[in-house]
Chains A and B, each alone.
Chain A
């Protein structure tokens, strides 16, 4: 069907054209440029105002060009839920060994999330230099540690909140409150996807369940629903994907045929109505997904060596399931899915039992969780690399906050710590074997090159060719951004 002018139902929300026609929103863009140019004052300092993606209502997920040449085209986020302890993994603090079991200087009255703090406690995991770079990483994650030469660490992360829900919200949506669009939704909104039979944004929940703030982590917020993350995993398919029992393939084909007939007839009365024809297209994509999603989730085509490398044959069902999710992540990226978010850890089972929230007995809990993550995630990174996929894929490892260098009073675990923690990236666009920022001697507070979650997001968008100050959507009086009114690209980590 030829594309004519957009009807009312073409919806201003989805279209840049209507955005420009819209006096309220267009005012900023058009009048501004006109005004400043006519006064000869469009200086280099003046930043451009928000430019919204040009979205074809019929194919809202069609691939779109970014603001500038990107370093990465796809993103994989590995999110460890519960607050992954940086001082037991990536952030080596010899001072903790020297001052083991001594009070933390200047922190005598410190009250954190669960209450009083005990003494500084050295990690139960041994740190060793890894790879050619000699980066110290602990034995908690021995397989991932071997890949240190490819990783770009940010050791000076800070979060706004020190409870899981709000902090997870911030890491995945930019805002601590509920109801804002997730990073994946923003990126799908900006860039669409490179495939025509899969969603732009897939999130893969942990086999043990969903993380603390649940679907808010992959929500579209106030963006159109088409940009929401589609949650499915190797063991849990998309809701309602399969043809229901009792309806044969023939029945289904006949249904589609009849539907097409009825809709075509209806369209005769509403020629050129893109909202109506978009619905017709959505049934075509649905039919394609019915074929493509089971196919992509079918790991039987993977070689036995891949199954073994990832540990998908592990007798432990949780380890095997997470490994299968890792394989699924690679398959999705291979097919051009723009944003894949792989969750490790779930909250359904309670504090620390199903995730990295090691308040009470950190070692006992981490000894269970680390093997679930370590081998499959490391295999995934290796696999991506060997297939050349890291050339255009950015891998981001994140968590909502870190943990205290002290043990909690009366416990053998660490409390929440939003004041300093570690994330890392690897793959397209970031410096390999690089460490940025630092916490203080104990790993308590970020001290050098402090990075906010806004900066972190700004950098990810930048790597995808997106200016975080330009990517916006009008909602309730504000051009909303992933980075609110903050954020600076961390230039030092760009390759």
Chain B
């Protein structure tokens, strides 16, 4: 060993040891002896020593006695002793020095069982303190680890090596292409020889399984075995490479490498229904033999070159979707997300474990922490999420959407003319109970007697039933529940409206039969009395007057309630509707009293309504003037034109959580109303607060012109908050619209009580223009965001409208509904892909001390890894897409030493089960050494010279005599090279999960070879917030597609085949483990899938052969193994079929080693 190399190895090994023992790499401290004048550097002299000797007990993780020497403040203040550990300029007064130099061994730090501080280190510490204990606010930028020069083999340029010359005639005869020269050369050096060529039956099976993942059909085998043409091999390989199923097998390899899955992972593991496009892209890219450098470019920056779907690569990894207002959590999640992109990019394309440089310079490879953050800057504008797939369909869709929107706007404009004005009269609605609210004491109702019970209205949507949605002009059921008493001629309940002045009063009650359990089946009372007590004092009688006597068996309009009993199960309880009880003068203390009738039959109480009576009103109106209930989607507020400069929407109550508004639109008066609230119209938004930590809920979304939860504002106050729009100039406005989620997907966070005010002056002298007071109370209270249906009912106020106007209105409503539905469909028809969302970065990227997002250091420009000429000359104002493009160009550059090597090694790996380098995603110093370095470089050169054609490298491998060798073991081979790294035979191995499943389906004849599109499911559907994946118990033809099309759930696998080392999509998987377990055996013997396929296999044998068992067995062997049985096998098989049936034979065949192995 040369001295230099020896030295290098030594340093490397020490570093390795230190790294593995968990101590920071920086402990390799400087050994130079600075003289007194030398300025001691905290970063290079002091901190590494503190880290090595002190941090274990007094560092970022542990602070014994409360002292943290990692933190300047803590060091200056001291720990529990309250003595400053460091007194700048005065080493002798510094408690730290006193403790580390203490004569008393029990007092001395570090404790005796730890590594002591050396005298040299103490000297440095003293000098540093005496020089002022300079503790840089910002530590020096991390430097590339200079310990490791770049003489590692993989970092050298690829130079095409000479092909070794073979001397022996036998070798010359055997070598089919240069690959064999390299392999044979090395084998001879180790005293080994290669094996003879495998027979054609074995070869066609091997080529088929490797290239397409499917076994050849008996006909294919027959044809190949008897093919007399000299180019039979070449033609077969060509045919298989051209098969569309080639891309399915090789696409799967790539999907493993890039951790592709179709759910988010982590706690909620939510599906990504639009992620499958990327899978199809990968399959097609392999089928088309897309040049690899192009393939790289497309995956990193496909949006710039017309390959939109390819960027699914960037976001194929997991993402923690659990949101929080805790900024610590939100930042950490974002850092993890970017880390996944940096790490996967580095490992996938360059075989570099870039992720290791997140918290410190890479411990083995020349990747600095700064390089890591340069790559973070490249990806800093990339976010997870769906994006529109730009295509002709999309353009057509957009055109239609635009037209439909315009039509809808016209209709809505016309409709708005029919909308009642908001807040024209003081309105009060008092229920006997407020549904969904705590039924605690309320000041606006009083119970005078013990309640007999509470009953719900009969469920249903018919007139008066619980979910009666109302109709044009007819109110929906606003009662929901009613209260009842059995109390003849007694006061039972009062409503206290606290109003003064002339008011119209409407009453409602529960009508029908009394409670279901009542055996007397008594009807509700026929003469319930409603009194108005003017002073509210029930003792005084002279101010009390009877305002109505109500037959509670009838509806408010006087029609009979159905009295028929519905079997023994109960009866109908219907809401009465509103009964006009006259205009009355009220005082603030006045009460409406409900009094039992003449008999003991139940008397019921429900909602009553008060509305201010305008002076000109002489007789009471039949119905109050009410507006529809608040809806999730759009709500409209119409009012008399008013001048406004400021408009404020104040939320007073929500159905749950902090309120959300997706868009607030303010329209001017006039024949063509304009939305003057838009930011693009110069309006400015302010709010009482905004929920922190969510990009999709920022204040700017309130007036960005975009609907839906992803473009909404949420306040940071539970149930409250206000948002204000300052218009560009004072305008006359007459209508405002707003919604919680105008795309209709969310039903939580709805403002249910609110007020809207306007002001013209900067002093904000507010005038109230609208509120929820005159709206029908919000009743449906969806708790979660999974139930968007918040139907405000069909009610549309049409009081005072002539009949023909009602007809016109009806028509408009129908038109609006139809257009709304059309628009919904257009929106869902937009082709979306889970391929990332790209925005220009909002913030500069800093490198983070120890990877901690709260310890920002200086700004880093976008770039790659500097050692590999990755300085991309980009600036912080470089466009986001250009950053990715430049990174891709750098990675795929001809001169990049790693890219081609890494890919040809992967190709090799998937042919032989092991790469020339056995760590396919790590070509760094800690990765594997190549078994055939020259062959690797020769292949890399060929790869580039072929125009980065993957298939051209495969042709070379597949048609080499190395690949075509027999797999039979030899004694010498096993002794010298048990692992077969030198390839003295073709290494046999167990098939991958996908190949096993697909082969079973192929052999049974059940396989559905439909390519592309949405995958099939192997789990029962469910919509839990945290998804639960229960395996399906039965399978049918829809699950019999190739396994690459199985919807890939992160962290959950196919119940039968996951056990065969399927990666779980949590981490990248460049190389599958290949284990053998009892659970695999159980799955292959007993799973529903296998038993069903064995059955189908046996049916196929019966249908496609004669009744002769021997024929059936023959065909079974040919389908499953590509060969005929020998006599012994035939006899045993026939015996099995005769005594146990054909399906049992088929099940056994699927379990045999011969079926499960590639030979």
Taking Cβ atoms with an 8 Å cutoff, the residues of A that contact B are 4-14, 18, 21-25, 27-28, 31-32, 35-36, 45-47, 49-50, 57, 60, 111-116, 161-166, 168-169, 176-180, 199, 209-210, 212-216, 219, 221-226, 228, 230, 238-244, 246-247, 250-252, 254-255, 258-259, 261-263, 265-267, 269-273, 275-276, 278-283, 285-286, 289-290, 347-348, 350, 409-410, 447, 449-450, 452, 469, 472, 474, 476-479, 483, 485-488
Contacts and interface: CB of A to CB of B under 8 A. Distances in A.
A184 B159 CA distance: 47
Interface string B655-696: 000000000000000000000000000000000000010000
Contact of A9 (B329, B987, B1069): B987
Contacts of A161: 329, 332
B1120 to A, nearest CB: 11
A292 B1069 CA distance: 34
Contacts of A27: 929
Contact of B1024 (A47, A166, A348): A348
Contacts of A164: 267, 322
User: Counting chain A CB atoms within 10 Å of each CB, which of B64, B1067, B1129 scores highest?
Assistant: B1067
B430 interface: no
B20 A50 contact: yes
By DSSP majority rule, is chain B's interface helix, strand, loop, or mixed?
loop
Given A24-B928, A214-B1051, A283-B1081, 11 more contacts: A8-B980, A28-B17, A47-B21, A111-B326, A111-B692, A212-B1026, A262-B1129, A266-B1153, A266-B1154, A267-B1153, A282-B1080
A23 B928 contact: yes
Given A114-B325, A180-B1066, A488-B56, A259 B1152 contact: yes
B1153 A177 contact: no
Contact of B922 (A212, A410, A476): A476
A254 B1067 contact: no
B22 A178 contact: no
Interface in B518-565: none
Contact of A178 (B318, B914, B990): B318
Given A262-B1129, A272-B974, A178 B1050 contact: yes
B718 A279 contact: no
Contacts of A347: 267, 1026
Contacts of A488: 56
Given A8-B979, A111-B327, A177-B318, A270 B266 contact: no
Contact of B329 (A7, A11, A163, A449): A163
A467 B189 CA distance: 41
Nearest to A253: B1140
B20 A479 contact: yes
B1075 interface: yes
Contacts of A271: 969
Report, nearest first, the 6 A-B pairs whose CB atoms are least far apart. A179-B1066, A165-B267, A178-B1066, A477-B922, A8-B980, A179-B1067
A166 B266 contact: yes
Interface string B1046-1082: 0000111001100111001111111001111111111
B799 interface: no
Contacts of A449: 62, 64
Contacts of A238: 1079, 1082
B1055 A5 contact: no
Contacts of B1086: 240-244
B1148 A239 contact: no
Contacts of B980: 7-8
B465 to A, nearest CB: 30
Interface string B956-990: 00000000000111000011001111000001111
Nearest to A245: B1091
Given A5-B974, A13-B1074, A164-B267, A478 B356 contact: yes
A469 B17 CA distance: 10
A8 B912 CA distance: 11
Nearest to A276: B1153
Contact of B1154 (A50, A262, A483): A262
A272 B978 CA distance: 11
A5 B975 contact: yes
Contacts of A478: 353, 356, 926
Nearest to B340: A177
A329 to B, nearest CB: 20
B35 to A, nearest CB: 29
A224 B1075 contact: yes
A224 B1077 CA distance: 9
A178 B1051 contact: yes
B921 A477 contact: yes
A273 B969 contact: yes
Interface stretch (B8-16, B167-175, B452-460, B772-780): B8-16
Given A247-B1144, A258-B1132, A476-B1070, A486 B1051 contact: no
B267 A212 contact: yes
Nearest to A49: B20
Given A166-B266, A255-B1148, A225 B16 contact: no
Contact of B918 (A10, A22, A221): A22
B978 A8 contact: yes
Contact of A219 (B353, B1061, B1064): B1064
